[in-house]
Amino acid sequence: MNPGKPDSLISPEWLRYLERLSFLSRKRSRSSQRGERRSRARGHSVEFADHRNYVVGDDLRYLDWNLLGRLDRLFLKIYEEERELPLHLFVDLSESMNFGTPSKFDVARQIAAAMGYVALNGFDRVHLNLFPNSAAQGAQGLPPRHLRGKGSSMRLLDHLSALRPGGQGSLNQALQEAARGNRRQGTVMVISDFMDPDGYESGLKAWCSQGMDVHAFMVLASEELNPTLHGDLRLVDCENGSHEEVTFGRHQLKAYQATLQGYLDQIQNFCRRHAIGFHLVPSHINLESWLLADLRKAMLWK
């Protein structure tokens, strides 16, 4: 991946590596669609699940003959069907994401591209949610919201490549509206800077209440994590246009760093309390190394 080239989200070499990965969800799928995830449903796949007592009329092909010989009792083998695990991707396209070098937006859609590509190659269904809606339409019209199968991966990458950030959206509203229409367990990945003044708590809790495996990817620019500006400044809010005149010196820098650290502690503590995976992603990071090392350490994929 090259954060400096938005028209090339994932290199061919990296795509080939991603094809060897698969997600490790903390939730078991209850989807009715067949895929490559272990489900609570019982069927006749190759994954052995348990035994139960034989009942007249059961298929004799699934009798456990070894147990019959040892215990002189009839037990039936039951298996776990493999079901797809839906992946809900939320990508923040608000104007605040168009900041930093490389921009937070470029890093966010590269993460979305990698996650979506791994899911589609595992025959999981991908639900792409982009907000705000005005920016989500991009250059190619409405996004392909529901994707499934390897054949859809290029469609996902093409659409993410064509997107441009813009506008002001509500993270809570986007998450809550999508959660209301959900009926299946799966994985939720929210990729944002989480700098929405209206917060993020109610939106994330809406998905947690459904028993989903929720992950928050907080993308921040190096200029936000370690600012170098100083002197008399005119700060402009890129989304609502409001501005403020400030003098930024050594003491103000320390106050800013304390405020930022306090906010990071707050969101991490919130995620910990609600069993949400939290991942801080500096925009200048080597994304390929981070995806391999940190996300494997977080047991997100193998």
Taking only the tens place, the pLDDT of each residue in 159-215 is 999 898 888 889 999 999 999 988 888 999 999 999 998 999 999 999 999 999 999
Its pTM stands at: 0.76
- C-alpha 9 chain-centroid distance: 17
CB 173 within 8 A of CB 199: no
Give the residue carrying structure tokens 């093409």: 158
In three-state secondary structure terms, 185 is coil
Task: Pick the range with the lowest mean pLDDT from 143-147, 227-231, 288-292.
Answer: 227-231
Question: What percent of the chain shows pLDDT beyond 70?
Answer: 74
Cα–Cα nearest to 167, from 115, 101, 93: 93
CA separation for the pair 260, 91 (Å, rounded): 22
> For residue 257, which phi and psi values (nearest 5 degrees)?
-60, -35
In three-state secondary structure terms, 83 is strand
Q: How confident is the model at residue 246 (pLDDT cuts 50, 70, 90)?
A: low
Q: According to the model, what pLDDT value does residue 242 have? A: 60
Task: Name the DSSP letter for residue 190.
Answer: E
Residues in the chain: 302
- Residue 235 structure tokens: 């700060």
Q: According to the model, what pLDDT value does residue 180 have? A: 92
| CATH architecture, domain defined by 12-30+84-297 | 3-Layer(aba) Sandwich (3.40)
Number of neighbours of residue 189 by Cβ within 10 angstroms: 23
| More confident site: 212 or 228 | 212
- Every domain of the chain and the residues it spans: 12-30+84-297, 36-82
CB 15 within 8 A of CB 288: no
CA separation for the pair 120, 136 (Å, rounded): 21
Q: According to the model, what pLDDT value does residue 229 have? A: 66
CA separation for the pair 86, 73 (Å, rounded): 40
Q: How confident is the model at residue 281 (pLDDT cuts 50, 70, 90)?
A: very high
pLDDT in tens, 104-159: 999 999 999 999 999 998 878 899 999 987 655 554 555 667 898 888 899 999 99
Cα–Cα nearest to 194, from 268, 252, 255, 293: 268
Q: According to the model, what pLDDT value does residue 254 have? A: 85
CB 175 within 8 A of CB 75: no
For all residues of the chain together, what is the average pLDDT?
Answer: 80
Task: Pick the range with the lowest mean pLDDT from 13-22, 101-110, 257-266.
Answer: 13-22
Task: Pick the range with the lowest mean pLDDT from 35-49, 154-168, 230-244, 282-296.
Answer: 35-49
Residue ranges in the chain assigned as alpha helix (H) = 12-18, 65-71, 104-121, 133-136, 153-162, 171-180, 201-208, 222-225, 250-273, 287-297
CB 81 within 8 A of CB 41: yes
Q: How confident is the model at residue 31 (pLDDT cuts 50, 70, 90)?
A: very low
What value does the mean pLDDT take over residues 87-111? 94
